[in-house]
Amino acid sequence: MSQSKEIELKFQLSSPKEIRAILADELFAGQEKKEATTLYSTYYDTEDLRLNQNKIAYRIRKTAEGLEATAKSGIDDSKGLFVRNEWNAPIRTRRFSSQVFAGTPIGVKLFEIVGNAEVKPLFRTQFKRTVINYEKDDLSAEIAFDQGKILAQEGKQEAILEMEMELKAGDINQLLVLGQAIAFKYPLHFGLQSKYERGLILSGIETAPLPSPDVQIEKDESLQSGIQKMMSAAFQTILYMHQWFLLSPQEVESVHQLRVSIRQLRSLCSFVKPFVEEEPYTQVQSLLREMAQQLTEMREMDVLAEEYMQAAENAKGFLNKQSALLKMIGEKRLSEQEQIHTAFLSGVNTPKLLAVLAWIYEPHWKKEHAQVPFEAYVDEQIAKRKKKISRALKTIDMHQIEQVHPVRIQGKKLRYLLKVMKKQLKKPQLRLLKDLDVLQELLGSICDIEVQIPYLKSFGVGSRSIKLHKELALMAGYRLSRLDGMHEEAKNFRFSD
């Protein structure tokens, strides 16, 4: 019997050809490669899914060497990695038994959870696995390529085509650097579910979980520990939103929420800027900024289309939904969507995300600041930033966009930060978050109107369409007509306390 902690990176591949190409890559010259073997696995649970409810996966796998039972628990993939406790034991029959793990913590837990309840098969997996045993520069890793399928009840099945990188010895960052080197050459995408989770979803037992930035910060926890938890959760949200965009690039919210998730992580990173080394921090912020900027044009088109529809509702008879402008917006959006979606499908962001993940694991803390109390620092910074915004609101001229924009950015960063930290906030800070929602709606609208008037004019360049130019003028007029009221409202804005 063996017990280990499984630390694994998982990537989805797009073609079997990629497996052959990676196996032959010079990155793995001289490394031991095992011939493909077929693995047959069956996953088990009780009728009421007691093991799943206790975050335990139990499988029996048939290999060339015989039958093996495996139990995995302590699932934690919040950092983009799968980190689990794993127990393996050779067995003789395809029957569930907690006795095969007798004398171990998991054996005791299995017996307590299952008792005398009947355990039955849930679903099966069948795939060919080719393995590279990687040994270089103090890194020992098993890189497995799996191609096959998940088989559920009623003939349901789903393809398996993935690469798993499991750390055997060495540092996690070494594994991430190797993953980066592969991702620079091949279109890899993070795998967000294990085969077990995918099997549950295929069987209709469980739906894909929604990402949540909520984390539990312990009393007296250090800033270093607490903020790394929060950055890890925010990173996981980016992975889910990135996948959503890959599946549904036409959806307005898939673009918006991906940009928001990136900005939330950037806000968390900036929160600890004084405590980390400058160069790695700057590189990570640059990578995140690049990712968000790729989506800017699409988001601009979505906002413009939404505002046009609002204007059409409020100015009936002047604008209509079958407009030349709306058609042009749609065409520009589709063109940008196809270009960006193709780039994202190519895996262009995976090396960037791996670099960000490596920094989250090791942000290069300055030793003298590593153990500042999380709660005290958060309270101090929120109060300080609120005061700075309040002071600016009293002095700036709302008609001067160059004065309004910096305050909007300050408020936006604080708002993103509070949203990510919502579970840890006190009542006054929750009220501040509500106030910032209002303020950002105001300042955002003022800035958008000022900036997008010239942008609207660009739509008419080279066009002889009288209808298009009329709509552009009406849209510009509609926007400008709202400015005076917004300026006054923003000028009179005050925080609740």
All structural domains of the chain:
2-202 (2.40.320.10), 223-491 (1.40.20.10)
Write down the pLDDT at residue 8.
87
Write down the pLDDT at residue 382.
92
3-state secondary structure of 72: strand
User: Which pLDDT tens digit goes with each residue over 298-326?
Assistant: 998 998 888 888 777 776 666 665 688 88
Write down the pLDDT at residue 78.
46
Q: Give the C-alpha distances (Å, rounded to integers) separating 82 from 5, 172, 194.
A: 10, 12, 8
- Residues 138-145 have a mean pLDDT of 94
- Spacing of C-alpha 62 from chain mean position: 35
- Residues 162-167 have a mean pLDDT of 94
Structure tokens at 34: 């095992």
Q: Say what percent of the chain tops pLDDT 90.
A: 51
3-state secondary structure of 174: helix
Report the amino acid identity of residue 163. Answer: M
Separation of alpha carbons 173 and 356, rounded Å: 11
What 8-state DSSP symbol labels residue 216?
A: P
Task: Say if strands 56-63 and 139-151 run parallel, antiparallel, or are unpaired.
Answer: unpaired
Cite the beta strand spans of 47-156 per DSSP E: 56-63, 66-76, 82-91, 119-136, 139-151
Q: How many Cα atoms within 13 Å fall on the side-chain side of residue 416?
A: 22
3-state secondary structure of 401: helix
Write down the pLDDT at residue 327.
87
- Residues 412-438 have a mean pLDDT of 90
- Residues 383-394 have a mean pLDDT of 92
pLDDT at 68 over 50: yes
- pLDDT tier, 99 (very low <50, low <70, confident <90, very high otherwise): confident
Write down the pLDDT at residue 5.
62
Q: Say what percent of the chain tops pLDDT 70.
A: 93
Write down the pLDDT at residue 407.
92
Tracing tokens 């960006």 back to the chain, one arrives at 340
- Residues 393-413 have a mean pLDDT of 90
User: Which residues does 20 contact at the CB level (< 8 Å), separation at least 6?
Assistant: none
Q: Give the C-alpha distances (Å, rounded to integers) separating 372 from 282, 347, 375, 380, 457.
A: 22, 38, 9, 12, 51
E strand or H helix at 113? helix 105-114
User: Which pLDDT tens digit goes with each residue over 152-161?
Assistant: 988 999 999 9
Structure tokens at 237: 């949200």
Q: Which residues pair with 159 in a beta bridge?
A: 149
Average pLDDT, the chain: 88
Lowest mean per-residue pLDDT among 232-246, 339-353, 447-461: 447-461
Separation of alpha carbons 436 and 414, rounded Å: 8
Write down the pLDDT at residue 1.
58
